Amino acid sequence: MIRVKVVNAGGYFLLLLSDFPTLSRFSLFIRRFEIFSSRNMKIGIVCYPTYGGSGVVATELGLGLARKGHEVHFITYRRPVRLAHFHENVFYHEVDTDDYPLFEYPPYDTALASTIVDVVQYQNLDLLHVHYAIPHAAVAYMAKKILLTQGHYLPVITTLHGTDITLVGNNRAFAAVVEFSINKSDGVTAVSQNLKDDTLRLFNIQRDIEVIYNFIDFERFRKTNKDHFKKIIAPDGEHILAHTSNFRKVKRVEDVIYIFKQVHDQVPSKLLMIGDGPERQNTERLCRDLGICDDVRFLGKQDAIEELLAICDLFIMPSESESFGLAALEAMACEVPVISSDSGGLPEVNIHGVTGFTSQPGKVDEMARYAVLLLQDKDMLAQFRANALAQAQRFDIENILPHYEAYYEEVLRKSVVKVE
């Protein structure tokens, strides 16, 4: 038998021959070597297929990679919300979790691991990229161990998105599994420097974490002329404020209403509440209590968020915790300044006094003063709009995709030796 080893020498690969354990390992090695010549990869993506930030980022990343010629396979329990149409080089594999009387809850983790193994075997995937540590990183480790028994080494990259670390992952019931699965990943990325710092502070992590920021697709998120739509929402020329989230406690959605009430008392304005979740009912009740229902619209979950942002003057994001602030970035790409908290990674996106203003979580009065200041100064608002767009352009998907591609190649290069 022949054993092959790769040595990276100035960007070239020298093949050194010695004993190689099995023919299947040799075939896998050849496939990995071909990647470095063609730069086209077969990538599996595991994510939550919902409106949350991690699912949106994972889907948009996959679509961007597919446009560059890579073959992308989504593996999840439902088609991701932003995977609504046919896309070349994109495949979807649904995880089947049939109910069985023995189980109080369907065993999704086991079904997902089995599906990953099946897709990797029959689609010959080169690597697996899982988004959100719980349970995806742990499930990926299980699938990798199963595949190893069949002579297949599957590199796994885990992307940390925020609440999987700061809220859920830090729960003692999950912490040990999260720490273990991160350390067992072949590569780990975080969507902000703040999230990387939090992860290293909360867990005993023995491997490097690469910061690769979230991104925006300017083919979709950009300011367009929607004046006809704006006149429907604000027929008398009122300013339009917006908030987008999953309406969880951590988003401090009621603070949005309190901020808007103060703004509304000083500046003619309307508020668009985009999204849905457990705090929606309480927030609607608060609007009634404050007597501002006629000027607040709850729009629920929306697919074409960019069309709503195109008519807005200000975006409000007072979150208690935010690892990055993708919703704020989407607003900024549409030239909408942001009033936000300074929690987590938000200051890495929304620059205080430049693209908007930041305050400590809960500082409702201060956020309201900043909002009024901007809305009452046309020149400042125009400058902040331009600044918001310029800052958002730093996170253009065309700038971020090469970072992911380079990181994939680095992980694959390191895994070549592991197939021995």
Q: How far apart are CA 384 and CA 354, in angstroms?
A: 6
Q: How far apart are CA 388 and CA 331, in angstroms?
A: 8
pLDDT for res 203? 92
Phi-psi category of residue 284: left, alpha or beta, with phi > 0 → left and psi -120 to 50 → alpha: alpha
Q: How far apart are CA 234 and CA 241, in angstroms?
A: 11
Residue for token digits 């995806």?
A: 136
Q: Are 278 and 248 in contact (CB under 8 A)?
A: yes
pLDDT for res 14? 42
Residue for token digits 């709850």?
A: 298
pLDDT for res 257? 98
CA angle at 51 for the pair 46 and 55, rounded to the nearest 5°: 20
Rounded mean pLDDT for each run of 10 residues along the chain, 420 residues in total:
39 44 52 56 91 82 94 92 82 82 72 95 95 91 94 93 72 85 95 93 93 93 88 94 94 97 97 95 96 95 91 97 92 98 95 98 98 97 98 96 96 70
Homologous superfamily of domain range 227-394? Glycogen Phosphorylase B; (3.40.50.2000)
pLDDT for res 169? 57
| SS3 assignment, position 376 | coil
pLDDT for res 13? 44
Residue 403: closest CA among 220, 219, 210: 210
pLDDT for res 82? 75
User: Position 68: which residue type?
Assistant: K
Query: Cis bond leading into 278, ω under 30°?
Result: no
Residue 274: closest CA among 312, 227, 235: 312
CATH class, 39-215+398-410 region: alpha beta
Q: Are 84 and 303 in contact (CB under 8 A)?
A: yes
Q: Any idea where the domains of the chain sit in the sequence?
A: 1-38, 39-215+398-410, 227-394
pLDDT for res 2? 40
CATH topology agreement for domains 39-215+398-410 and 227-394: yes
pLDDT for res 19? 44
pLDDT for res 100? 60
pLDDT for res 84? 74
Q: How far apart are CA 347 and CA 338, in angstroms?
A: 11
Q: Which helix (H) or strand (E) holds 359?
A: strand 356-359
Looking at residue 396, the DSSP 8-state letter turns out to be: B
Q: How far apart are CA 189 and CA 207, in angstroms?
A: 11
Residues in the chain: 420
| Contacting residues for 399 by C-beta, under 8 A, at least 6 apart | 215
pLDDT for res 96? 84
For 310-333, the DSSP string reads TT-SEEEE--S--SS-HHHHHHHH
Structure tokens at 28: 């896998």
Q: How far apart are CA 252 and CA 322, in angstroms?
A: 11
pLDDT for res 417? 52
pLDDT for res 34? 53
Q: How far apart are CA 374 and CA 339, in angstroms?
A: 10
CA angle at 150 for the pair 148 and 154, rounded to the nearest 5°: 40
- Structure pTM? 0.84
